[in-house]
Amino acid sequence: MSGARIGVVEDHALLVEGLRALFEPEPDLHLVAAGGSVAEVLGQTADLDLVLLDLRLGDGSRPGDNVHRLRACGAEVLAYTSGENPALVREAARADVIGMISKSEPPSVLVAAVRAALRGDVVASTDWAAAIDADTELAAVALTPRETQVLRLYASGEKAERVAHQLGISRDTVLDHVRNIRAKYARASRPAHTKVDLYRRAVEDGVLPDPR
């Protein structure tokens, strides 16, 4: 099977069937597992590229635990929610979902969001951004002005050599700053292991503009 393998953790059967019907005509998107809990979905297959995760499930599980379990299997996680509980959205954001999509969005927006997440792009939404803005834990990293400059350029997609040229410093100095930035985020329990993670942190902290 070519194309992306998608899972859905959602305990409302009608919504699952709606998503199945939505993805069926898309040749690059295959819904291969669905269930009302992470355990049920992973019991069908752990070979998933992306999982749409409802944040409020009937089994009482926490979004953070669910996200960590799915990411441990190598899947990106896109929160799929009505967004009525900002605390759940904040918990999912801290657990490193790649973004959030509202259940009220039109089908074309949902499909576009899934494809964006599969490319590694952060999927922003008004509810997601508002929940992050209200989370004081996400403001716990104190970057220096130079580190902020490096993060802004590097997380926006520039290579280390280009960042060095623009700031008038050496490539090694840029990489030292990046290591320091990653260490600071790690100490704040907001790891940034990849460049996509750094982009997320930069958006969360207002270093880069919100793409919504």
The whole-number pLDDT of residue 153 equals: 94
Q: Say yes or no: 198 and 105 in one domain.
A: no
pTM to 2 decimal places: 0.65
Question: Higher confidence at residue 126 or residue 7?
Answer: 7
Q: Say yes or no: 131 and 184 in one domain.
A: no
Under the banding of pLDDT at 50, 70 and 90, the label for residue 31 is very high
Structure confidence by residue, pLDDT tens digits, 76-89:
999 988 866 777 77
Distances in whole angstroms, Cα of residue 43 to Cα of each of 47, 70, 75, 182, 200: 11, 12, 15, 34, 30
Q: Say yes or no: 153 and 130 in one domain.
A: no
Are the CB atoms for 186 and 192 separated by under 8 Å?
yes
Domain extent for 31: 4-136
Instruction: Decide if pLDDT at 59 tops 60.
Output: yes
**Domain of residue 32, CATH code:** 3.40.50.2300
The H or E element spanning position 169 is: none
Distances in whole angstroms, Cα of residue 153 to Cα of each of 84, 170, 174: 34, 14, 10
Structure confidence by residue, pLDDT tens digits, 151-205:
999 999 999 999 999 999 999 999 999 998 998 888 777 888 888 889 988 887 7
SS3 category, 162: helix
